[in-house]
Amino acid sequence: MFDSRPDRDAEVVFVGRSNVGKSTLMRQLTGHQFSTGGKPGVTRRPNHYDWAPESFVLTDLPGFGFMEGVPEERRERIKTDIVRYLETHADDILVGVLVVDGKSVVDIIDRHAERGEIPHDVELFHFLEELGIPPVVAVNKMDKVDDRDERLNELCERLGLLPPWQQWRDTIAPISAKRGNVDALTDAVRTHLHEAKRDDLLKFF
């Protein structure tokens, strides 16, 4: 299920909890209709969008975390598959986009931390760094957040980044995918592609 990746030497991956709007974001970026459902956990396998003749692929990995009606064993397997995918293709992945829900991410992180668990979002952020994949956090649904700067500063703190968030524009990207407002994300991704000396891929963002 996870071995359907096209043979490409450059990749940008999108990871995140279920229902944070990854499929909507992918649609905005590619103009391509991704299957998305009303209930979490609909995307169960990677969605790859590749451009010929360029050796480049955008990958939407399945949502992780709590999914109603999905057994815990299955949820854990998805998470393991995601980790393995990232490890396997780390050398080819130029950017890892971690999509979070701006309205709820801080509360979710705190809830897990209070239970003595490492929150998935924080774990994944640092895991991308460990693999040498530049992480960009796409903080989605920001149109629903009132205390925008405060919320983004709190997220930075949870991720171990020193606020204010504005100094992390290549890492923290406030967006609203549904409204088509994704410039902060494309700017951040373009920065990392440029640093990777892959200006040939900038046209895709």
pLDDT for the residue 37: 45
Q: Which fold has domain 11-200?
A: Rossmann fold (3.40.50)
Can you tell me the distance from the alpha carbon of 61 to that of 79, in angstroms, rounded to the nearest whole number?
A: 10
Domain boundaries, the chain: 11-200
Can you tell me the distance from the alpha carbon of 203 to that of 5, in angstroms, rounded to the nearest whole number?
A: 22
Residues 6+ apart with CB under 8 A from 29: 58, 182, 186, 205
Least confident of 28-42, 169-183, 186-200: 28-42
Residue that the structure tokens 């815990």 belong to: 72
pLDDT for the residue 99: 97
Residues 6+ apart with CB under 8 A from 141: 20, 21, 101, 102, 103, 176, 177, 178
Higher pLDDT, residue 105 or 77: 105
**Helix (H), strand (E), coil (C) string for 63-118:** CECCCCCCCHHHHHHHHHHHHHHHHHHCCCEEEEEEEEECCCHHHHHHHHHHCCCC
Residue 134 in this model has a pLDDT that exceeds 90: yes
Residue 162 in this model has a pLDDT that exceeds 70: yes
Per-residue pLDDT tens over the stretch 32-74? 765 544 444 455 678 888 876 788 999 999 888 766 677 888 8
